[in-house]
Structure 1
Amino acid sequence: MATGSVEDAEDRSRSRSVAFRFVLLFGAVSFFADFAYEGARSIVGPYLAVLGASATAVGMVAGFGELIGYALRLLSGRISDRTRRFWLLTLFGYGISMAAVPLLALASNWPFAAGLLLLERLGKAIRNPPRDVLLSHAAKEIGYGWGFGLHQALDQCGALIGPLLVAGVLAVQKEYPPAFALLLLPALMTLGLLLVARLLYPQPEAAKVTLLDLKAKELPGVFWIYLVAAALVAAGFADFALMSYHFVKAKTVPAPWVPLVYAAAMGVSGAASLVFGWLFDRVGLVLLIPLTVVSSLFAPLVFLG
């Protein structure tokens, strides 16, 4: 009995160790992915303005991009569930996104740039559901809040450094295309690390996670309440592309400083993800209530402040 207990403890320790390394590796993937995308996102608004886009066009591009990025996850999630090709869809989605970002350097008009931005959102819609399935296997072993919080923190570190690099390039070059072109490097790192993760962990489900096979009619009432709340939060969401466009047009923030503002926001988000991920494992869903109330103040502060 004692021997069995020791062996079980060793198995659990080994599973947690493997899961932790997988989360770290995927965190590195997300670090470079957000390095590339968020670096681009930090200057998309002013860039579209330079290319001749109106505020309406920027808002529509940003809004439609988010619609694609979220609505198509339903389709991607369904396909990944049915085919079980989690890695294939993840690789395909990242490939689309990481190709679109540096190509923004070649945009000569705002519709072309808008098309690339929508393509990036399409890639994210394809990759996120299967990627989260892969991560969930590992997060189960080390705690969902800690696992996803750690991953998000690394993700946000990339989202912090990317805009800082872009700000540096803008300070030197005074033009947007070189900044987008430089983002090819983190894009390539993203794809390289993703391939390494695929080779090292071809079956993350080996972490012995039991998944629930839930049908829509079996979902609890609280799920639908949460879904409505999330939809209402999303309805009040404004993409940073529109915010940065407003900053430049209203002259509230100098154009070279815009990516620095975005970097600061990403830094706060990264630190908060670790803290609140840890708290979520202990407090639960109620933690989202005060966080939602505080974050809702962004609109008047940004557009009326």
Structure 2
Amino acid sequence: MTASHDRTTGETAAGRPAGMRPWRFVVWFGTVSLLADFVYEGARSVTGPLLASLGASALVVGVVTGAGEAAALMLRLVSGPLADRTRRFWGLAIAGYVLTVVSVPLLGVAGVLWAACVLVIAERVGKAVRSPAKDTLLSHATTVTGRGRGFAVHEALDQTGALIGPLVVAGMLAATGGDYAPALGVLAVPGVAALALLVWLRSRVPDPEAYERRAVAAGATAERTPAPAPAGRLPTAFWTYAAFMAATTTGFATFGVLSFHLVQRHLLAAAWVPVLYAAAMAVDALAALATGWLYDRHGPVVLAALPVLTALVVVLAFTDTVAIAAAGVLVWGAASGIRESTLRATVADLVPVGRRATAYGLFAGVAGAAGLAGGALIGGLYDVSIPVLIAVVTATQVLALVLLTATRAGRR
């Protein structure tokens, strides 16, 4: 006997979207992200040298890459509410991936500086378009798999692509004598594969929200299902949580500042910086898996590790001892893994389904503003006094712990 099928929800009689179990959906969606990260992290690893080869100054490189990162975060303030309003989560996710997959290979053959700058920013806009919709689609399946574990597995696969992409581009540049066209052109292959897999996934699971509807109806998520907020409003606990994230992000040093210290203090040759970055990405993936599992067992208290690691980064990484500074970079990788996985899982636990993409967009906007402020703060204090920098970052992380405690109280 075959299961009956509801064409509206894509559910079988067993109550799950036809053709795929929740864990399979998470893994396949993670594979899409792996392939996409292969593409855009491969390109981002050489953005600076590529723009310089077209005549860009350090100022131009800084402005363009900074504008790209700002676009990737701040534009989610628009794409998040748009996803909730239109309910076209799959359409926005696919459109965002298309923009990235098309922009990267064209970057290798741009030929003129202005066109390359436009493509660098366009790739980041693609991330802004897709991310709230993608995270919302993923959040439905993680209702069943466990929020922490589901987002953690997705992040681990994502970071696998972030590790492979730069290494492939480096190998192509070495093989072609520094020719960017074939080095970035080869990234079209995983890009096309990512789009094909995404379209296939949509055909198999047209309505991922069915995962969550079934789980809630069965009472499987009673402890984690957020209470409905008043119409048009997000829960108070979400805003407290966003403040926690802003405080910890303000003290989070960027890899650019860490690598600047390593090279300027002659602790590491520039050629070895990408190797250390790759090691940090491996730690990122492991930390995401570990904290995701712990989150599902113990809840948001696990996030208390993030402010501790954030403060530890500046204590270790800004020393003048190679081994200790390198350890600081690996701690930075662990903190990044928590930031990219478990932080997103908690948003899904705090916000009801109908407002979730909006929440992800607002969360990213707050992160973008805090990241910009933190970058200026840490960069400025680095030039003044490293002990003062450490003291200020530690103070921001103490504040973050207080806000996390308030979030837990509000959630209860």
Structure with the largest fraction of helix: 1
**1:51 is the counterpart of 2:54:** yes
In the alignment, structure 1 residue 287 sits paired with structure 2 residue 287 = no
Q: Distance in 2 between matches of 1:300 and 1:40?
A: 31
Taking only aligned residues, the RMSD between alpha carbons, in angstroms, comes to 3.1
Query: Given the superposition, is the C-alpha separation of residues 242 and 17 from structure 1 closer, same or farther in structure 2, using an over 3 Å criterion?
Result: same
Amino acid at match of 1:287: V
Question: How far 1:128 sits from its partner (Å)?
Answer: 0.8
Counterpart residue type for residue 38 of structure 2: F
The equivalences for 1:32-71 within 5 A come to 32-71=35-74
Could you tell me how far 1:187 is from its partner in structure 2? 1.0
CA distance in 2, matches of 1:111, 1:200: 41
Paired letter, 1:219:
P
Structure 2 distance, partners of 1:115, 1:240, is: 24
- 1:124 pairs, out of 111, 122, 127, with 127
Going from structure 1 to structure 2, the CA distance change for 1:261 and 1:114 (only over 3 Å counts) comes to: farther
Larger RCO (CA within 8 A; separation ≥ 6) = 1
Give the Cα–Cα distance (whole angstroms) in 2 for the partners of residues 109 and 250 of structure 1. 34
The 2-side partners of 1:110 and 1:302 are apart by: 34
| Cross-structure match for 1:167 | 170
Amino acid paired to 2:39: A
Q: Contact between 1:170 and 1:179, CA under 8 Å: does it hold in 2? A: yes
Q: In structure 2, do the counterparts of structure 1 residues 249 and 71 end up closer, same or farther at CA, with 3 Å as the change threshold?
A: same
TM-score of the two chains, using structure 1 as the length reference: 0.83
Q: Tell me which residue corresponds to 1:207.
A: 211
Q: Is the 8 A contact 2:17 2:211 kept in 1?
A: no
Is the deviation greater in 78-87 or in 63-72? 63-72
Tell me, yes or no, if the aligned pair for 2:18 and 2:204 is still in contact at 8 Å. Answer: no
**Matched position secondary structure for 1:127:** helix
Q: Residue type matched to 1:204 in 2? A: P
1-side partners of 2:17 and 2:101: how far apart?
33
How far did 1:26 drift? 0.5
Change (3 A) 1:199 1:249: farther
Quick check: 2:141–2:212 contact (8 Å CA) kept in 1? no
How far is the alpha carbon of 1:90 from its aligned partner? 0.7
Contact 1:41 1:241 (C-alpha < 8 Å) held by counterparts: no
- 1:145 Cα deviation (Å)? 0.5
Greater mean deviation of Cα atoms: 43-52 or 153-162: 43-52
2:22 alignment partner, one of 19, 29, 32:
19
Match of 1:88 in 2: 91
In structure 2, the residue matched to 1:99 is: 102
Contact 2:252 2:310 in 1 (8 A): no
Q: Which amino acid aligns with 1:267?
A: A
Normalized against structure 2, the TM-score is what? 0.63
Tell me, yes or no, if structure 1 residue 267 matches structure 2 residue 282.
yes
Q: Give unpaired runs (5+ residues) of structure 1.
A: 1-9
Letter paired with 1:172: A
Distance in 2 (alpha carbons) for counterparts of 1:255 and 1:30 = 29
Q: Post-superposition shift, 1:164?
A: 1.8
For 1:172-191, list aligned pairs within 5 A. 172-175=175-178, 177=180, 178-191=182-195
Instruction: Give the match for residue 6 of structure 1.
Output: none
Distance change (3 Å), C-alpha of 1:15 and 1:85: closer
* C-alpha displacement of 1:265: 2.1
**Structure 1 contact 44–241 (Cα < 8 Å) conserved:** no
**Corresponding residue for 1:137?**
140
Q: Distance in 2 between matches of 1:81 and 1:150?
A: 25
Q: Quote the Cα distance in structure 2 between the aligned partners of 1:171 and 1:300.
A: 36
Query: Which of 181, 189, 196 in structure 2 is aligned with 1:192?
Result: 196
| Residues 112 and 295 of structure 1, relative CA distance in 2, 3 Å threshold | farther
Equivalent residue of 1:52, what SS?
Answer: coil
Q: Which amino acid aligns with 1:107?
A: A
Q: What is the rounded CA distance, in whole Å, between the counterparts of 1:179 and 1:248 in structure 2?
A: 26
Verify: 1:73 aligned to 2:76, yes or no.
Answer: yes
| Percent of residue pairs bearing the same amino acid type | 46
Q: 1:89 touches 1:126 (CA, 8 Å); kept in 2?
A: yes
